[in-house]
């Protein structure tokens, strides 16, 4: 039977729909981050693996923390490092972890993504999308400067009844309708603060309320807003024991400072900012985004069940 997280004293409940608490910059302090976020009202955390090197860490984190929803996927940045039998390994993780969703997978033509063969990215992405459809699991998708390619591939392989989470969505308002028709949800993070306010507001208002999700993408995507103060990670990442963590799970892992690291409790800042742009109350956005996440992550075998987590 699914375990329902205890309700926090917070007036709202939130679901961090995409984060990376297995990241070597924060993995050793992840239990403290989960406790702090839970105390603030964050009831669930979808923790996304990115390569063969960290899937076991995500799997163990989900065992240790009932509030963690595990997700396994091969991120486009790690496509060149995949082993010949990566797909067999990925299937094995899903077979052993029936509560897992698919992610993080995707396409990237950004500064780092441009160094990785796009044809290989597409091949790996397509295989994982097909796996998500076969398993009837939702899939968390990374897309940077490749929304045209993304729409074409999703159209060809979709629709996706189990849902597609477009993580840290920064696409145009004009693309929302077509993506939504394929089963996409639009997850918003602190990266939204990098978008021009007028463009962000137009994009947000084009998203159906029943397709909005909130996330932190921790330890990345720390919101940067003058009028929305954020807190850096509340524990010293320098205390993390990284001996047993993937050495190269993030290009910035060696240089990231404590002040630049994000953590799940900062989802409240995302909530405040998105609610202000949508011109709705934080309570309304919290409730609708939580219900949307519960619906998305309520697949057969999941820890999450709508009737057990009704607001």
Q: List binding-site positions.
A: 18, 20, 104, 142, 167, 217
Q: Which helix (H) or strand (E) holds 45?
A: strand 42-48
Exposure string for 214-227, b = 16+ CB within 10 A, e = fewer: bbbbbbbbbbeeee
CA distance 21 to 50: 11
- Kindly write down the DSSP assignment for every residue of 135-160, as one continuous string: HT--EEEEEES-HHHHHHHHHHH---
Cα–Cα distance measured from residue 197 to residue 45, given in angstroms and rounded to the nearest whole number: 28
Q: How buried is 84 (Cβ within 10 angstroms: 0-12 exposed, 13-18 middle, 19+ buried)?
A: exposed
CA distance 47 to 104: 9
Binding-site members for a divalent metal cation are: 18, 20, 104, 142, 167, 217
């Amino acid at each position: 039977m699914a375990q329902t997280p205890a309700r926090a004293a917070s007036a709202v409940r939130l679901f961090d729909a995409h984060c990376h608490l297995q990241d070597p910059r924060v993995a050793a302090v992840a239990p403290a981050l989960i406790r702090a976020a839970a105390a603030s009202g964050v009831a669930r955390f979808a923790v996304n693996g990115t390569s063969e090197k960290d899937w076991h860490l995500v799997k163990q984190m989900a065992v240790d923390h009932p509030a963690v929803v595990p997700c396994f996927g091969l991120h486009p940045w790690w496509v060149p490092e995949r082993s010949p039998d990566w797909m067999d390994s990925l299937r094995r993780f899903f077979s052993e972890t029936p509560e897992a969703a698919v992610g993080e997978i995707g396409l990237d033509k950004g500064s780092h993504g441009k160094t990785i063969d796009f044809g290989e990215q597409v091949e790996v992405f397509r295989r994982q999308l097909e796996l998500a459809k076969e398993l009837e699991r939702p899939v968390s998708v990374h897309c940077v400067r490749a929304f045209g390619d993304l729409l074409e591939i999703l159209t060809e392989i979709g629709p996706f009844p189990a849902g597609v989470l477009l993580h840290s969505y920064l696409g145009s308002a004009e693309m929302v309708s077509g993506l939504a028709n394929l089963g996409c949800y639009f997850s918003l993070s602190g990266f939204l603060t990098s978008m021009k306010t007028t463009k962000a507001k137009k994009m947000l208002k084009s998203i159906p309320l029943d397709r909005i999700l909130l996330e932190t993408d921790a330890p990345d995507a720390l919101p940067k807003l003058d009028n929305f103060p954020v807190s850096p990670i509340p524990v010293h990442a320098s205390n993390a024991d990284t001996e047993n963590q993937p050495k190269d799970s993030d290009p910035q892992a060696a240089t990231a400072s404590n002040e630049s690291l994000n953590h799940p409790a900062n989802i409240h800042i995302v909530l405040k900012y998105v609610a202000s742009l949508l011109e709705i109350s934080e309570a309304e956005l919290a409730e609708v985004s939580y219900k949307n996440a519960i619906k998305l992550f309520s697949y057969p075998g999941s820890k999450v069940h709508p009737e057990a987590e009704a607001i």
